[in-house]
Structure 1
Amino acid sequence: MTDSSSIFQTTGLSLPALRGQQGSRTLYLTLPSNAVLNNFFPIDMEPADDRSQRALDAGHARQIAQYITSNPTEYALGAITYAVDLEGSFTEVEKGSNIGLLRLPLNARLRSIDGQHRREGIRLAIDAVQDLGSQSTALLIYVEHDLAKRRQMFSDMNNTARKVSKALNVSYDTRDPFARVAAELADNHPLLEGRVDREGSRTQPGDGNLFTLAALHDALKRLFVGGSGRVKDSARFDEDQIRTRGSVFFDALLSARPELRPGVTAEELEETRSRSILLSSTTLRVVAASFWAACEATGVDALAIGGAFSGFLSDLDFSPSADLWIQSGFVSPGRATPNARSQEMRAAAEVIADLLIARVHDENGVS
């Protein structure tokens, strides 16, 4: 049986490339068409004892394929990295230029080091997107035959990478309507203007910020899908509706909680943080989920529910020792911060929703 990870061409595979050096290794940068990538560069299917990276996650690959098919003119994929066990031959177009033609021989074996999910995503999307096969993906090829060293490369690449904060991703995302509205509210809403951290994963003591942009983004999604916060296709949600419901939600918070109003000093906010869970992003998500549940259960429009919601928030005890939080498991006895596990968040959201629904019934005459 022929090894599927070999390159099947009678004369080898030839690719225009740039040649370079990193440490003791030779590397090549090339821009094959996606059709060539699909036909000649394998997805790692080796047994675990011969694999250079993590196992393929089919769900993640499908997400990338969906991203490509949803954004066929604007998708952006980073370089895919492979290791090849044989040097091959390199013919320069001009001596000393390191620009030329790389020929990988028939028996060369390629192993994926980084980007296998992008590689599989391209394979899944190539028949659905016109001209995707003729477009290009950057490919880095290192010459490395040793399995232990290939695994070390994978480890090094992941150890030195630093994940970008969700807040910064939201800040730069102009495609997602929830992200656009979150940024707009952070700029213009009287409660939030100048008081939202757009880059950090959490607010910092004394910075005067109420929430991160990621927390706003999460809350907005829960205003439309509830406690899970999972939005598979954000494009199906109307931006004006997101803006309206988000404004009602934060208007209610502004009118109900004087300790958050503009003019409150950073020191006063820190005092509130020390004795209340009101400024926790986890609490914000739970309260947003309860607002969604009340809208769904009562059939009352978000604009009409705003008054009842504001009064409800005004009466709600946000001290961590309050019975509601302890009995629902949202805050453990003796602790000052909420539990972020989905089970406790769901339980707290259900309790709050029931109380809010009763309030809406009373104030709006809903039977």
Structure 2
Amino acid sequence: MLNNAHIPTGYDPNEYFFAAKYRQGGRTVFSLDLSVRELVTFLPKPDPEKPLDASATQRRIVPTHAKQFGTYVVEQADWVSPPLLLRAPHIFEFDSRQDLDTGTTQFGTLAVPKDAKSEIAIVDGQHRTLGFHLAWEQLTADISEARTLVGRAKELGERPVIANAEKELQKKVDRRDALAGERVSIQIVLVENPETARRIFLDINDNAKGITGSVKSRFDDRKVLVRALNAVLISNELLEGRVDLEQDRVSGASKYLIGAKHVSEMLHALTNGKRKITPRLEDELDHKNIAIEFTAFTDAIAAAFPELRDVVAGSLTPAQVRSRSLIGSNVVLRAIAGAWFELRQLGWKPAAIQEAFAEMAPHFAVPVFPDVRDSWFQTGVVPARSEGSTSTTSRVQDMKTLTAFIVSQAVKGPDAVWYRATVADPALVVG
């Protein structure tokens, strides 16, 4: 009698998985889980180049998004993925366990015909599926390359080189083995036509609530700036109770001074200016030091700008600040943070920067009227409105322009020339 471990499976027309069977929205659903290795074998690799036709039930694939997910899975040991939702016609056999029937859910074995897997299509999760394929392919390629390097090292016969090459090979093999044992939830809904599949896809995405930048900037504490953000949100006097933790847009009558996303951008500016936080710098930075620098910055601007002093004292609301000074604009606050970094790079001490900002403060009054002589309007980042503007535009290039202007005026000090218009030039008003 053959041992189960040696029963040939290549002749079986089916593949078998433990699964649950239940109803959702009037449809039959099978729920199972696959390891990453099983997933890339079981599910065909999505093709970003495949043209979409009238029967398509998905949007066009963005390869970069899929690649980023694959890199995330490979590099993050604590990766996470929601279930993949697939659709298929009635091609399965399900052998249920009568002793494991809850009345609404059955448990048993799902038989999937090997020659019918092409009939299984993705409803939601095509980028993740492609990402898993790319991750597995990359790991396999890396392992192959690492084996080659081990072979070359052995030819050289240098023990330290051999040991290092074998260590790198083992690291990659261990990562692939780990993914081979970690699992992804799969839901297969029985659907016969693409029209129904499209409605399911629409319902999923129509009912999903996206994540705002403010929420995202607070939750990924693997990043040093996120740890710094969460630290300053609970300890900074200027921010206390004045940061919108959910929304990215803070303006007008909002009781908040700024959004968490904007605080994160200020932290970035104070840490590395306009440059990216590289992986190497990420490892070198300490979130506590970033928080200390941020506190020095907010203490300085609260002392330099009377409106912010009044906010801290409770005698002025953020909405009132926005109606009186550009310092109430989150765009300008971010530019001020960028200017702080640039001046610090020039060797300025916090006290000197505070003094320079204090000299500028009276010239931050709003509204800014369209007038070619007005110092702020000359920057080209202030909308031309007949009633004047209380903030600037916020494109990346606009932020650079604002930062450069503030730095320039600070460096000029008492010699800086300021002109503030009191009425709009009708010839410049748009619309």
Q: Please tell me the TM-score bracket, short chain as reference.
A: 0.7 to 0.9
Q: CA deviation at 1:244?
A: 3.1
**Between Structure 1 and Structure 2, how many residues are aligned?**
346
Amino acid at match of 2:69: I
The residue number in structure 1 matching 2:313 is 263
The 3-state SS of whatever aligns with 1:175 is coil
Q: Verify: 1:247 aligned to 2:251, yes or no.
A: no
1:338 and 2:392 aligned: yes
Question: Which AA in structure 1 matches 2:242?
Answer: R
Q: Deviations over 1:288-338 (max 9, x none)?
A: 223333344x2x2xxx53122212322333334173432222221223332
Distance 2:74 2:409 in 1: 43
Residue number in structure 1 paired with 2:223 = 176
Distance in 2 (alpha carbons) for counterparts of 1:235 and 1:54: 35
Superposed displacement of residue 33, structure 1: 1.0
Compared with structure 1, are the counterparts of its residues 282 and 113 closer, same or farther at alpha carbon in structure 2 (3 Å cutoff)?
A: farther
Native 8 Å contact 1:87 1:104 kept in 2: yes
Q: What amino acid is aligned across from residue 355 of structure 1 in structure 2?
A: Q
Q: 2:183 aligns with which of 124, 136, 139?
A: 136
- Runs (4+) of structure 1 exceeding 6 A deviation are 204-207
Offset at 1:16? 1.3
Structure 1 residues 51, 277: CA separation in 2 closer, same or farther (over 3 Å shift)? farther
CA spacing shift, 1:329–1:14, aligned 2, 3 Å: farther
User: Residue by residue, what CA displacement relative to the aligned partner does 1:254-307 show, whole Å, maximum 9, x if unpaired?
Assistant: 2112212322246x43222123332222222222223333344x2x2xxx5312
Could you tell me how far apart the structure 2 residues matched to 1:280 and 1:273 are? 6
Task: Kindly state the Cα deviation for residue 35 of structure 1 after the two structures are TM-superposed.
Answer: 0.6
Correspondence for 1:193 among 240, 256, 268: 240
How far apart are residue 102 of structure 1 and its match? 1.5
* Distance in 2 separating the partners of 1:313 and 1:251: 12
Measure, in 2, the Cα distance between the counterparts of 1:132 and 1:92.
29
Is it true that 1:56 corresponds to 2:61 in the alignment? yes
> 2:34: which partner in 1?
32
How far apart are residue 359 of structure 1 and its match? Answer: 5.1
1:231, 1:114 → 2: CA distance? 32
Residues 105-164 of structure 1: CA deviation (Å, up to 9, x unaligned): 222412222222222333333425241122101111112232222222222211111113
**Partner residue of 2:380?**
329
- Structure 1 residue corresponding to 2:93, chosen from 89, 94, 106: 89
Question: What is the TM-score when the length of structure 1 is the normalising length?
Answer: 0.84
Deviation of 1:219 after TM superposition, in Å, equals 0.9
Q: Alignment identity in percent?
A: 24
Relative to 1, partners in 2 of residues 1:358 and 1:224: Cα closer, same or farther, differing over 3 Å?
Answer: farther
Gaps of 5+ in 1: 1-7, 363-367
Measure, in 2, the Cα distance between the counterparts of 1:311 and 1:9.
Answer: 82
Closer, same or farther: CA 255–84 of 1 in aligned 2, 3 Å: same
The one-character-per-residue Cα deviations of 1:77-123 (angstroms, maximum 9, x if unpaired) are: 11111112344111112264511112222224122222222223333
SS of residue matched to 1:192 = coil
- Paired with 2:28 and 2:376, the residues of 1 have a C-alpha distance of 59
Alpha-carbon shift at residue 344 of structure 1 (Å): 2.2
The amino acid of 1:338's aligned partner reads: T
Query: For 2:107, which of 96, 99, 106 is the aligned residue?
Result: 99
8 Å CA contact 2:46, 2:130 repeated in 1: no
Question: How far, CA to CA, are the matches of 2:60 and 2:413 in structure 1?
Answer: 51
Match of 2:349 in 1: 305
| Residue 314 (structure 1) aligned with residue 319 (structure 2) | no
Deviation at 1:226, TM superposition (A): 2.8
Q: TM-score, normalised by structure 2?
A: 0.72
Larger Rg: 2
Query: CA offsets, 1:159-203, max 9 Å, x none?
Result: 111113332333333222211211211211222223223233344
Task: Please show how residues 157-172 of structure 1 align to structure 2 within 5 Å.
Answer: 157-172=204-219
1:277 aligns with 2:326: yes
Change (3 A) 1:41 1:320: farther
- Cα separation, partners in 2 of 1:235 and 1:353, compared to 1, 3 Å: same
Measured after TM superposition, the shift of residue 351 of structure 1 is 1.8
Check if 1:118 corresponds to 2:128: yes
Does 1:41 pair with 2:43?
A: yes
Please state how far the C-alpha of 1:41 moved relative to its aligned partner: 0.9
Q: Which amino acid aligns with 1:308?
A: A
Is the Cα–Cα contact under 8 Å of residues 186 and 195 in structure 1 kept in the other structure?
Answer: no
Distance 2:111 2:270 in 1: 56
Q: Is the 8 A contact 2:91 2:116 kept in 1?
A: no
Letter matched to residue 277 of structure 1: L
Q: Which residue of 1 aligns with 2:81?
A: 77
- Unpaired runs of at least 5, structure 2: 1-9, 140-171, 417-431
